[in-house]
A and B are shown apart, each in its own frame.
Chain A
């Protein structure tokens, strides 16, 4: 029977092709708009490191001015002071931990003809590589001692290795920055997590990862100047050493827990740490130590743009309009067939077979609308890439999950939209219709 109904649906759809086209287009536009916004949101908030996101956490401490909170009644500062990050790191109370920040540098040519190369830098401690599972092509992370003995070593990105060493294994060779030589210990494979979870904020969440990675001590020893947001309060600082000891926050601090119980222990440890720092006259605000999961951290940093949430709300309302449109048109269409329905009922067709038949017709419109909707979604995403530029490039791909979701959404939506019109059509009293023939 299903295929017979499919044929009937085809005939019916083709006979009222104008109306059918209207319905299909409306559904397709609604699905297209909804899918475009859902895709952008879904990919923006995708888990960039699914196998261990539940183990990675960022730390926030409230070292701010006693009288003026960092953000009125909301959040402690997003980053730590250098001294707190260093203290937490040396306490070694978590399974793994790392401090890091962004910097910029120029790699100087080693020979006469070479050109200087401007690079973005991440200054971090060793565990950064293991915690964030950065893939290595050559070499490995630097030794743990490097974090304390100020050795000048560097990990290159694949792109920079291509530029400097033509992609060959550079481990053991050196590069020159600010007149000093850095020994290459490893090369990362193309590693571009989106969002760039280890350093997200409103503007930089979808930036590329850095060109080179150096030990944090390169920053503290003033070999490389840091280039990141820094927020300060209280007494001015004059020298670099003053700055490192100041209450300015600029250091990202992350921990990895091996098991859930560790989180509670770490919380207790942080509370104790803040108590102890109070003896030095610091941390005059009430306790507000935060251990953020990746998800919480993305919320704090507003990774998913508010505009996108709002556009998604609008797109679903738009889909609502399109569906109402479809309900209305189906109602008109099916009621227009009341004579035919009455005749079939008089000839013995049961209500349920009629219902089945018209639901097949609704579903057909849903499938066609859904497929066309995918085309619109694809165009929509192309348009978004065009409008937002490079930054969104990684965020505008339809994957299989989304395609299945789109088709299901449109079938479910159309079948739901078809329910009432079908029900109405099947409840026509056959006698009335026959009379009017």
Chain B
């Protein structure tokens, strides 16, 4: 690197042009690192498991409009019909569906009484078939028994004796050892006791943007209301074929209601993460265009720089500089500018991240991402300058004398 001093001195004579590219690179790195980070962040939350068999499951809403509907007898009749339909593995009457954006929650506390610390949990109300229907993995304790199930009116807040919780819930109740949760008692409404009789591995709640999405409980309750959800799991591969059939079956079995919103769990997931997905695609597009704009900017500026220095390059060639040396000159020049840009950009990336963390409550960016970003931007600069540098190297020594 004998020319290093030479290159620096030449650069200093055109410091504005160099500074502008450096700034452009800095800003590119700033946006790149933060955009990629945000994409990763969203991707990670989208990939979380709901704990439920999403492929073979669908649900529908049954809304009753006729007065004097006998919920107590009609709901078991519906369930019986569904559970005996060929192709259906199991079905439940439930208050909510994971990620649907519609559900209920409970406040649990370990000690009874006022002024006690409490935890929030998404709450599923269903019966003893819920574990089988959702295909949840029971990792401790046992499933509900039919006699555990409480049937109550919509306005009633009466509670059953037992509940099943997700492992994340158990871990929040007993941070030292989640297994302690099994058999222990928690309280709702300050002093109504509930015994934890089972723990499932994963079960997400209704709101994906809620930080308590992993902490859920299942209470064995059938809450009678004029609008209820039937959730149905079919044999693998038979979901789409059964959806219209089940819709018609329920609609015809009882004309005092409307069967609506027949939806798969997959569609619910897609709908729920639609904004995340859209934002990610937009960010990705921004990153790609940004990289292209910057790369073309470098190409354009380098080309012009070389055109301006044609005679100088010709002279160097005439004095014995090899093609390789000419190329190296421009690549070293570019790497000096890029390095300056990277230093500024790394500072900018962290600063923007701090701003985003404070304004939009995001998690801080990891240092390795800044490092990878810096390496990519450096390579981008070298790649962009390759073509102009090669063109410079092809300038023949004769140019030096011809161009006066």
Spell out A's residues near B (CB within 8 Å): 18-19, 22, 25-26, 29, 33, 67-68, 104-106, 108, 116, 118, 177-179, 202-203, 225, 227, 233-240, 242-243, 305-307, 309-311, 313-315, 317-318, 320-322, 324-325, 327-329, 331-333, 335-336, 383-384, 387-389, 420, 424
Contacts and interface: CB of A to CB of B under 8 A. Distances in A.
Nearest to A108: B65
Given A387-B274, A388-B278, 18 more contacts: A33-B286, A106-B63, A106-B258, A108-B65, A239-B155, A242-B155, A243-B155, A307-B279, A317-B31, A321-B27, A321-B293, A328-B21, A329-B301, A333-B304, A383-B282, A384-B282, A387-B277, A424-B16
A420 B308 CA distance: 19
A25 B293 CA distance: 9
B356 interface: yes
Interface in B255-308: 258, 260, 274-275, 277-279, 281-283, 286, 289-290, 293-294, 296-297, 300-301, 304-305, 307-308
A68 B118 contact: yes
B279 A104 contact: no
B16 A105 contact: no
Given A26-B293, A26-B297, A331 B16 contact: yes
A26 B258 CA distance: 55
Contacts of A309: 359-360
Interface string B126-159: 0000000000000000000000000000111110
A327 B296 CA distance: 14
Given A33-B286, A306-B360, A321 B304 contact: no
A332 B360 contact: no
A328 B17 CA distance: 6
B301 A237 contact: no
Contact of A311 (B189, B282, B300): B282
27 contacts: A22-B300, A106-B65, A106-B258, A108-B65, A118-B258, A178-B65, A178-B67, A179-B68, A225-B226, A234-B189, A306-B360, A309-B360, A311-B279, A313-B356, A314-B34, A318-B31, A321-B28, A321-B294, A331-B16, A331-B20, A332-B301, A333-B304, A387-B274, A387-B277, A388-B275, A389-B274, A424-B16
Interface of B: 16-17, 20-21, 23-24, 27-28, 30-31, 34-35, 38, 63, 65-68, 101, 107, 114-115, 118, 154-158, 189-190, 192, 209, 225-227, 258, 260, 274-275, 277-279, 281-283, 286, 289-290, 293-294, 296-297, 300-301, 304-305, 307-308, 352, 356, 359-360
Contacts of A321: 24, 27-28, 31, 290, 293-294
Given A118-B63, A178-B65, A325-B293, A235 B189 contact: yes
A317 B258 contact: no
Contacts of B359: 309-310
Contacts of B114: 67
Given A67-B115, A179-B67, A325 B24 contact: yes
A22 B274 CA distance: 34
B207 to A, nearest CB: 9
Given A331-B16, A336-B308, A118 B155 contact: no
B66 A179 contact: yes
A240 B155 contact: yes
Q: Secondary structure at chain A's binding surface: helix, strand, loop or mixed?
A: helix
Contacts of B297: 22, 26, 324-325, 328-329
Q: Tell which of A22, A25, A309, A387 has the most Cβ of chain B within 10 Å.
A: A387
B301 A118 contact: no
A424 B19 CA distance: 15
A210 to B, nearest CB: 16
Contacts of A328: 17, 20-21, 24, 297, 300-301
A325 B294 contact: yes
Given A242-B155, A332-B304, A388-B274, A317 B30 contact: yes
B16 to A, nearest CB: 7
A239 B21 CA distance: 71
A384 B63 contact: no
B contact face: mostly helix, strand, loop, or mixed: helix
Contact of B157 (A179, A237, A314, A320): A237
A236 B189 contact: yes
Contact of B156 (A238, A324, A327): A238
B27 A387 contact: no
Nearest to A229: B102
Contacts of A335: 17, 308
Contacts of B283: 311, 314
Contact of B65 (A67, A105, A384, A389): A105
B189 A227 contact: no
A402 B297 CA distance: 28
Contacts of A178: 65, 67
Nearest to B277: A387
Contacts of A26: 293, 296-297
A322 B293 contact: yes
Contacts of A333: 304
Given A33-B286, A179-B67, A320-B27, A327 B20 contact: yes
A328 B21 CA distance: 7
Nearest to B225: A225
B24 A19 contact: no
Contacts of A108: 65-66
User: Which 5 pairs of residues, A with B, have the shortest CB-CB distance?
Assistant: A106-B65, A236-B157, A387-B278, A332-B304, A179-B67
Contacts of B281: 387
A331 B38 CA distance: 34
B316 to A, nearest CB: 18
Nearest to B355: A313
A310 B356 contact: yes
Nearest to B255: A116
A328 B301 CA distance: 7
A294 to B, nearest CB: 23
B269 to A, nearest CB: 15
Given A331-B16, A331-B17, A387 B282 contact: yes
Residue among B23, B118, B155, B308 with the most chain A CB within 10 A?
B155
A22 B296 contact: yes
A4 to B, nearest CB: 26
Contacts of B38: 310
Contacts of B24: 321, 324-325, 328
B258 A116 contact: yes
Contacts of B27: 317, 320-321, 324
B260 A227 contact: no
B158 A238 contact: yes
Contacts of A18: 300
A336 B275 contact: no
A384 B67 contact: no
A106 B20 CA distance: 65
